A and B are shown apart, each in its own frame.
Chain A
Amino acid sequence: MNKLFENELKVINIGLKSFNETLDERKVSSVQVDWKPPLISDSSLFDVIRNNSDKIETANKEAVKRILNSKPFLTGMGKAIDVIPGMKKNLLLHAGPPVAWDKMCGPMKGAVIGALIYEGFAKTYEEAEKVAASGKIEFSPCHEHATVGPMAGIVSPTMPVFILENEEFGNKGFCTMNEGLGKVLRYGAYDESVIERLRWMENVLYPSLKKAIEKIGKIDLKNIIAQALHMGDEVHNRNRAATSLLYRILAPEIVNTNEKEAAVSVLNFINSNDHFFLNLSMGVAKVSLDAARNIENSSIVVVMSRNGTEFGIQLSGTGDKWFTGVSPIPEALYFTGYTKDDANPDIGDSSITETNGLGGFAIAAAPAIVQFVGGSTNDAVNYTLKMYEITASENTIYKIPYLNFRGTPTGIDVIKVIGKNILPFIDTGVAHKKAGIGQIGAGVLEAPVEPFKKAFIGFTNQLKNI
């Protein structure tokens, strides 16, 4: 028997706001749902999902479990050619989904040029260009080699990299050291100063850090991030606290295991770069998400990444397939003198942080950033709250104080993205479209629709064929 008449009426209103206003006026308990039609209108695809819902749910639970239980540690350092799987003497890794030399954007081309000069394949810009286009150099996404790189994300054979290990599942991940701001390789700069700095990093920074880390044994990166979230970081665009915490752990052993001059220069270097931790937070995300790869029937997103030309994603259940779309230009507030016309499309592997429930997904922990883009602290909270709609779970370790220590939204589910018409929120820096100029603004953006549509269709087709 219907109990509706016996209980107080409590309404969920999906659609016209005016109906809810009437309910408010009459003091009826109600909730307004801001509904949007799904991104794909072919209901037959949703039928497939419905028919497989149990399988998908089980698979996603497993994927999420692996992401949440990951234990990423910084365990050492090495040269890319020695430690990165599949690295070759003539291979350059880059951010984002696969892209050919002729399709690369300005900053990425500049970074490739710089890397080729650094590696000794060329001495000048013109030479390097020829070499890059010659076919002698191979290009491959960092992601396909358990690696991540911010902005252009170029990793060359001789570059030193951090080694991360996910102790729970045994998988490893790699990332370069962050060069700092201004004229740097990852923004496409390739002049003398850039190469010099890279050499210093290889010859001084790398060995010093390597020794210090060896002495320490291993550094619990998850713990650093958890604390940093309590201190106003979201570890994508704001890494100051995390960098400071890392600094505290490393400093004594840097001093201990190195000559004074080297130690001082290393400490100064880290101190002057608020984003030193970024590459490691990206590495943490990488090893956590890689553990959740290849779970059959799982619709959880394991990669979101951009190469400055295209934006690409990968799902746990669809193996190595990339689903791509045009990379958008962020809605940013530009530094004085720059406008949207100067901006490069979104670029970098750093959106792996959002994929892991950090960065833009944790922006409620870092209201300072939103101020920078003209928003209020309330906006920061709302951005995070919205993301709970499209994730399968809430993080068990990364908690946001303002939300009563609620775990960050973790485990993006492409089915929810398409069904609810809500796209992942990313906060990011914006690069100038010309190589080598640097950051020209900061902003927020929604991931583009196309990769998610393609992924949803790819995923559903796969289900149909089983």
Chain B
Amino acid sequence: MIKLVSFGDDLVKGTYKVHSRFNEVVNFCSGSSFVFIVNNSIGGGPFNIVADDVKFSELENLVITEDHFQLNDEKIFFEFSKTYDSKIKVMNFDEKKFFQNLDHFEKALIENSSGKSLTFLLDESRKKNFKSSYEIELVRRINSALECFTSSNFVEGVKLIKGIGFGLTPSGDDFISGFLLALNCLQKFYAVDYSELIRHIYEAAKGNNAFTNAFLLAAKNGSLFEKFKNLIHSILYSGQNEILENTRTLISFGETSGADQGVGFLFGIKRNLK
């Protein structure tokens, strides 16, 4: 008996087929829409359904309707109290605290992220981890992209950084997600409008992989996955210990997605205040 823990606020109705299957996640897709069925350790997201007692290896079919979802033969109703809210809540933005905490985050990122993540952009000494010819080219290209960002040539920069790097969602795309999320946050913090820029970056960043695009779209809409959301909230409201804890949770040792997003986020916040 599947037990619903939470469901995202961006689920699209429809009939879905399995896209990819992992130990604790099954990704379903229908056209360009995705729904991720995950267990508690992954957490919530705009198009996640978090559930207990799921036999991931047996899931085949998913249907989403107005009031329920169906996994194989089991029908489970959506309970409003279990909605996962994917948006950041900003009340009384404390700029000083935010930037102090942002430094803690940067430190935590440098200390904890894996060697091949984009954290080398924050810590030069990491460049020595990039040894193969592909990796050396990667560093070169990303630095070029950063130069474009610095001179506010965002779209050019995005074109250089997209689609490259490691992981199922390439490092460059994760960076862009983080960057887009940063722009969304700045809109909330300072009541400014970056919607044009966000749209241009998103359009330039889209590729032929519907899976990666789904994450980019979420970032464009300012919809965050639980781990990243908790991190941002702790940067807004908490202290060093919580930030360290949340950074560690975001970064799964051995891969780079979380860290790359984090680096993108940092650049998004800092570069945009020039």
Contacts and interface: CB of A to CB of B under 8 A. Distances in A.
B126 interface: yes
A367 B40 CA distance: 12
Contact of A336 (B41, B126, B249): B126
B24 interface: yes
A376 B24 contact: yes
Contact of B254 (A336, A337, A374, A378): A374
B114 interface: yes
Interface in A371-415: 371-374, 376-378
Contacts of B114: 336
Contacts of A445: none
B113 interface: yes
A374 B24 contact: no
Contact of A374 (B23, B113, B253): B253
A333 interface: yes
B252 interface: yes
Interface in B224-266: 248-249, 252-254
Given A336-B113, A367-B41, A378-B23, A372 B253 contact: yes
A371 B253 contact: yes
B115 interface: yes
Contacts of A372: 248, 253
Contacts of B126: 336
A374 B254 CA distance: 6
Nearest to B126: A336
B41 A377 contact: yes
B143 to A, nearest CB: 20
Nearest to A336: B115
A376 B23 contact: yes
A373 B254 CA distance: 8
A335 B111 CA distance: 8
A378 B129 CA distance: 30
The dominant DSSP class at the B interface is: loop
B168 to A, nearest CB: 16
A376 B253 CA distance: 11
Contacts of B41: 367, 371, 376-377
Nearest to B116: A336
A371 B254 CA distance: 10
Contacts of B125: 337
Contact of B253 (A337, A367, A373): A373
Nearest to A367: B41
Nearest to A373: B253
A376 B41 CA distance: 9
B127 to A, nearest CB: 12
A276 B112 CA distance: 22
A336 B253 CA distance: 11
Nearest to B23: A376
Contacts of A378: 23-24
A367 B42 CA distance: 13
A373 B253 CA distance: 7
A374 B251 CA distance: 10
A367 B254 CA distance: 16
A373 B252 CA distance: 9
A377 B52 CA distance: 14
Contacts of B112: 335-336
Nearest to A374: B254
Contacts of A371: 41, 249, 252-253
Contacts of A336: 111-115, 126, 129
Interface of B: 23-24, 41, 111-115, 125-126, 129, 248-249, 252-254
15 contacts: A333-B254, A335-B111, A336-B113, A336-B115, A336-B126, A336-B129, A337-B115, A367-B41, A371-B253, A372-B248, A374-B253, A374-B254, A376-B23, A377-B41, A378-B23
Given A372-B253, A374-B252, A376-B24, 14 more contacts: A335-B112, A336-B111, A336-B112, A336-B115, A336-B129, A337-B115, A337-B125, A372-B248, A373-B253, A374-B254, A376-B23, A376-B41, A377-B41, A378-B23
